[in-house]
Chains A and B, each alone.
Chain A
Amino acid sequence: MHVLLAVVVGVLYAAGLYMMLRRSIIKLLIGLALIGHASNLLIFISAGLLRGSPPLVPPGEERLELVHTDPLPPALILTAIVISFAIVSFACVLVKRAYQEVGSDDLHQMRSTEA
């Protein structure tokens, strides 16, 4: 499972970077979203995966079992997902406005501010 997920993370980063390097601003946006997913998944696996040991206190016990999944990484990922939701929706609006102003979705047409 670790190996599979590690490969998935790598593929997501690669796909995200590839999309970011394209000329279309929509693809730029998709690329950024993919890289965000890759980072979230990376947090998920880097903390270690355990099968079937939820961090729940069993009935009648006072404390967690000795071996249990670390609940912190999912909490971090949840926070990161909420934040990236806000940011990606802002970026969507920004891309749409830029498209309306420039009249093109080609990043090469958007060089008027560069030196």
Chain B
Amino acid sequence: MSPLLLVSPVLLPMLGFIISLGFWKRPPLQRWINIVVSVSLVAVGATLVWAAADGEVGAVRLGDWPAPVAITFVVDRLAAVMILFAGVVATAASLYSLGGIDRRREAFGFHPLMLTLLAAVCGAFLTADLFNLYVWFEVMLLSSFVLLSLGGGRHQLEGAIKYVALNLLSSALFLGAIGLTYGMLGTLNMADLAEKLAAAEQPERFTPVAAVFITAFSIKAAAFPFFFWLPASYHTPPAIISAVFGALLTKVGVYVIIRFFSLMYPGSHPDAALVYETLGWIAGTTMLLGVLGAAVQTNMRRLLSFHIVSQIGYMLMGLAIAGAALAVAERPGLDEAERNAALAAATLALAGAVLHTLHNMIVKGGLFLVAGVVERTEGADDLNRVGGLYKSRPGLAAIFFVLAMSLAGIPVLSGFWSKVLLVKAGLEAQAYGLIATSLLVSVVTLFSMTKIWMYAFWKPAPEPSPIAESDRVSSIGTRDPRSGRGLWAMYAGCLILATGAVVMGAFAAPIVDYVEAAAANVIDPRNYFDAVLDRPQRLSTEATP
């Protein structure tokens, strides 16, 4: 992999941002810059996936500093596929923005901010340095702060205050944990850290620091017990911003949790069983509370926000099962067959977690975009105020149906396969409690998706009650709600993501293979260590499971 290709997921959006700043007074041009950058990010992501497919890990040491000192960007199968999907979501969102964002917000820098957000998300996927990760988190936060509060309005500002306060607290905790880590192990390079920790005499001493890390990361990822800021803020900005946040930001949190714990807590760590059991409890509670919160909502986007939380639980569940299985595999006195079975279960569970993350980026983004179309055409986002959309907008109904059924995990759509992997791995690893919880949560998910379907699409349109001006959605974010201008672009954005959900379901075999290989890389990160620390890679790049 050439160094330029490796850094381009960050470089392209940054370049786009700088060029957009030069055309501050010309939002129409910024729109097209946004689209061009997003599409090229898909191309870059696809190239990276192709280049990483044989298991080779690419790394570039910025500034050509020697190995553990340099800030390293590293691409393995997992990072590559995350970048590809972030590109797909960005493409759908940038197309949708042709009709889905109002002039005023565009004039105050909506497009450049989307680009910095994208750059930061890709930076967080690529970096192998904890402090650099902190910097990308802050870039991401600052862009999202402005996007969330852009345009003002009481709801948005109130939502933004909660979001800002909790995320700043998370950053401060993360920073403190970085300081403690550096004091203990004397490095912040993640590969170097993992090797030093594995060689440490008392690796248990790192566990309290890891507890601070998991607190900081679970605020970012909106996991139990730190999820309450998300449903209080994500539904306040225009739908397109909710969609991008819901698709990308929490997933960065999950990605970082997967990276951090797979590196620092391999099965051989004496505290691994404890750590992954804790994660299992966090995962189960997150998915249950999220979905129960969603079940009582009547506002579409608020309902979807609670579902973000619930789905985070599934991703963490995959990691928890994988880690527990890895800890079992390291137990003394196991024969070869038992050890291999535990390793296989771990790979499967982690593959399920990764696949579920990817599927959620597509589907959750798509559902928010559909909610945005409904808000725009109906002028309301409360399920009691809309209806009859199946009759008046069959195309939209079809798109919503695909996305909603995919979220609930109905066969042949994308959500089905990730849940199959998770459940299969859970059965092999005998995590019956988590499996039962996740299946229950699936049923309630289906229930709340059916609720949107019944209320917004099937039931006859309600009497057009005069909506008080104060009740009107302040953030519909369109030029003229009732006119059809730009509606095609909004449909196009939704359609891209719905197609993604169908393709991921229909062509599941190659995707599952790839994700399993990515999970195997994460579980056995020797190539990652070698790439980051500038050594020849030990694992054969041909041997893919």
> What residues of B have a CB within 8 angstroms of the CB of A48 in the complex?
183
> What residues of B have a CB within 8 angstroms of the CB of A80 in the complex?
134, 175
> What residues of B have a CB within 8 angstroms of the CB of A101 in the complex?
152-154, 157
Are B158 and A39 in touch, CB under 8 angstroms? no
Are A42 and B149 in touch, CB under 8 angstroms? no
Are B302 and A38 in touch, CB under 8 angstroms? no
Are B172 and A39 in touch, CB under 8 angstroms? yes
Q: Can you report 6 A-B residue pairs in the complex whose CB atoms are below 8 A from each other?
A: A28-B165, A39-B172, A73-B179, A87-B138, A87-B145, A94-B149
> What residues of B have a CB within 8 angstroms of the CB of A43 in the complex?
175-176, 178-179, 182
> What residues of A have a CB within 8 angstroms of the CB of B176 in the complex?
38-39, 42-43
- Which 3 pairs, one residue from A and one from B, show the smallest C-beta to C-beta distance? A46-B183, A43-B179, A39-B175
Of listed A39, A47, A101, A112, residue having the most chain B CB within 10 A: A39
Q: Does B233 contact A (CB under 8 A)?
A: yes
Whole-angstrom distance between the Cβ of A62 and the nearest chain B Cβ = 18
Are A113 and B236 in touch, CB under 8 angstroms? yes
Are B182 and A46 in touch, CB under 8 angstroms? yes
> What residues of B have a CB within 8 angstroms of the CB of A112 in the complex?
154-155, 158
Are A87 and B141 in touch, CB under 8 angstroms? yes
> What residues of A have a CB within 8 angstroms of the CB of B154 in the complex?
101-102, 112
Chain A contributes a number of interface residues (CB within 8 A of B) equal to 40
Whole-angstrom distance between the Cβ of A37 and the nearest chain B Cβ = 9
Which single residue of chain A is at the shortest CB-CB distance from B152? A97
Given contacts A87-B145, A94-B149, A113-B158, 4 further A-B contacts (CB under 8 A): A36-B168, A86-B142, A91-B164, A101-B154
Are A83 and B235 in touch, CB under 8 angstroms? no
CA distance A20 to B155 in the complex (A): 21
CA distance A34 to B417 in the complex (A): 46
> What residues of A have a CB within 8 angstroms of the CB of B141 in the complex?
87
Indicate whether A39 sits within 8 Å of B179 (C-beta atoms), given known contacts A112-B155, A115-B302. Answer: yes
Which single residue of chain A is at the shortest CB-CB distance from B236? A113
Are B169 and A32 in touch, CB under 8 angstroms? yes
> What residues of B have a CB within 8 angstroms of the CB of A107 in the complex?
161
Indicate whether A113 sits within 8 Å of B155 (C-beta atoms), given known contacts A28-B165, A38-B172, A39-B172. Answer: yes
Q: Does B46 contact A (CB under 8 A)?
A: no
CA distance A95 to B131 in the complex (A): 28
> What residues of B have a CB within 8 angstroms of the CB of A91 in the complex?
145, 164, 168
Among A40, A44, A95, A115, point to the contact of B231 (Cβ < 8 A).
A115
Are B165 and A32 in touch, CB under 8 angstroms? yes
Q: Does A61 contact B (CB under 8 A)?
A: no
Q: Does B191 contact A (CB under 8 A)?
A: no
Q: Does A53 contact B (CB under 8 A)?
A: no
Q: Does B207 contact A (CB under 8 A)?
A: no
Indicate whether A94 sits within 8 Å of B160 (C-beta atoms), given known contacts A113-B235, A114-B232, A115-B297. Answer: yes
Residues on A facing B (Cβ under 8 Å): 16, 20, 25, 28, 32, 35-36, 38-40, 42-48, 72-73, 76, 79-80, 83, 86-87, 90-91, 94-95, 97-98, 101-102, 107, 110-115
Which single residue of chain A is at the shortest CB-CB distance from B175? A39
Chain B contributes a number of interface residues (CB within 8 A of A) equal to 43
Are B158 and A83 in touch, CB under 8 angstroms? no
Whole-angstrom distance between the Cβ of B142 and the nearest chain A Cβ = 6
Whole-angstrom distance between the Cβ of A93 and the nearest chain B Cβ = 9
CA distance A90 to B163 in the complex (A): 13
CA distance A50 to B179 in the complex (A): 17
> What residues of A have a CB within 8 angstroms of the CB of B159 in the complex?
113
Among B145, B158, B172, B306, point to the contact of A90 (Cβ < 8 A).
B145
Are A102 and B169 in touch, CB under 8 angstroms? no
Q: Does B146 contact A (CB under 8 A)?
A: yes
Q: Does B388 contact A (CB under 8 A)?
A: no
Are A95 and B161 in touch, CB under 8 angstroms? yes
Are B175 and A32 in touch, CB under 8 angstroms? no
Are A97 and B182 in touch, CB under 8 angstroms? no
CA distance A76 to B160 in the complex (A): 28
B153-203 interface (Cβ within 8 A of A): 153-155, 157-162, 164-165, 168-169, 172-173, 175-176, 178-180, 182-184
Q: Does B487 contact A (CB under 8 A)?
A: no
> What residues of B have a CB within 8 angstroms of the CB of A36 in the complex?
168, 172, 175
B38-84 interface (Cβ within 8 A of A): none
Q: Does B135 contact A (CB under 8 A)?
A: yes
CA distance A98 to B157 in the complex (A): 6
Which single residue of chain A is at the shortest CB-CB distance from B183? A46
Whole-angstrom distance between the Cβ of B307 and the nearest chain A Cβ = 13
> What residues of A have a CB within 8 angstroms of the CB of B146 in the complex?
90
Q: Does B481 contact A (CB under 8 A)?
A: no
Are A40 and B175 in touch, CB under 8 angstroms? yes
Are A87 and B179 in touch, CB under 8 angstroms? no
Among B172, B296, B302, point to the contact of A35 (Cβ < 8 A).
B172
B211-245 interface (Cβ within 8 A of A): 231-233, 235-236
Q: Does B293 contact A (CB under 8 A)?
A: yes
What 1/0 flags go to B303-316 for Cβ under 8 Å of A? 00010000000000
Which single residue of chain B is at the shortest CB-CB distance from A98? B157
Whole-angstrom distance between the Cβ of A2 and the nearest chain B Cβ = 11
Whole-angstrom distance between the Cβ of B105 and the nearest chain A Cβ = 15
Among B168, B179, B236, B297, point to the contact of A42 (Cβ < 8 A).
B179
CA distance A12 to B146 in the complex (A): 28
CA distance A115 to B236 in the complex (A): 12
CA distance A97 to B152 in the complex (A): 8
Indicate whether A102 sits within 8 Å of B158 (C-beta atoms), given known contacts A35-B172, A91-B164, A115-B302. Answer: yes
